[in-house]
Amino acid sequence: MIDLNNPVIRGYLIRLVGEEGLEMIRKMPEGEVTDEQIAQATGILLNIVRRTLFILNENKLAACRRERDSSSGWLTYLWTLDMSDVEPQLVKEKKRLVKNLRARLAFEEENVFYNCPEGCTRLKFKEATDCEFLCPLCGEDMMFEDNQIVTGIIRKRLAQFEKE
Ligand SMILES: [Zn+2]
């Protein structure tokens, strides 16, 4: 079983299914259960249970088996959680985040930025010269931005990822 207190796993699952979805996963009964049984056992509203199961299924973290009742002919959907795919998915997500951060860092390092002091917009040097360093929205003088703070934050986040 995965560690739901692990902040990386928690964060990933909350982004995927929200706080209530995580609560459902935490209280999920063992074995095969119907959505109504899950709602009863967890105290989570049925529509949230269904939404959570759907998202988990899409992400291969929950499996569903259909069973037809021989006398009534009704279909029952039986659910089980399978969290074994969480770790490989986390690795994939981490790769994606690192790639995005590297691209963002390169963009920040390759460009010089000018900001409107009123906070309207941020322009690259070329765009700012095209506007003669006047904000295209409010007409204020654009100010040179020292983006060391931004690049510093990105570098710190990248370093954190590399440590994990
Ligand atoms: Zn402005």
**SS3 assignment for 85-112:** HHHHHHHHHHHHHHHHHHHHHHHHHHCC
Cα(143) to centroid of ligand 1, in Å? 10
Lookup result for tokens 């959907």: 77
Q: Which two tokens stand for residue 100?
A: 């995005």
Q: Give the whole-angstrom CA distance, residue 110 versus residue 108.
A: 6
Q: How far is the CA of 132 from the centre of ligand 1 (A)?
A: 13
What separation in Å is there between the alpha carbon of 147 and the centre of ligand 1?
A: 19
- Taking the centre of ligand 1 as the mean of its atom positions, its distance from the CA of residue 151, in whole angstroms, is 24
Angle subtended at Cα 62 by Cα 60 and Cα 68, rounded to the nearest 5 degrees: 120
* Ligand 1 geometric centre to CA of 100 (Å): 28
Query: What is the 144 CA–ligand 1 centroid distance (Å)?
Result: 13
Q: Cα 32–35–37 angle (5° rounding)?
A: 70
114-160 per-position pLDDT tens digit: 999 999 999 999 999 999 999 999 999 999 999 999 999 999 999 98
Residue 134 alpha carbon to ligand 1 centre in Å: 8
- Give me ligand 1 centre to Cα 115, in Å: 8
pTM higher than 0.85: no
Answer whether 19's CB lies under 8 Å from 4's CB. no
Q: State which fold the 7-86 domain adopts.
A: Arc Repressor Mutant, subunit A (1.10.10)
pLDDT reading at 164 higher than 80: no
Q: How far is the CA of 149 from the centre of ligand 1 (A)?
A: 21
For residue 64, the model assigns a pLDDT of 95
* Cα distance between residue 60 and residue 87, in whole Å: 12
How many whole angstroms from 142 Cα to the centroid of ligand 1? 8
**Residue 1: per-residue pLDDT:** 66
Determine the distance separating the centroid of ligand 1 and the alpha carbon of 123, expressed in angstroms.
11
Cα(116) to ligand 1 centroid in Å equals 5
109's tokens: 């390092």
**pLDDT > 90? residue 100:** yes
Question: Hey, where are the domains in the chain?
Answer: 7-86, 88-163
Helices (H) and strands (E) in the chain, counts: 6, 5
| Pair 33, 48: CB distance under 8 Å | no
CA 162 from chain centre, in angstroms, equals: 19
pLDDT at 111 over 80: yes
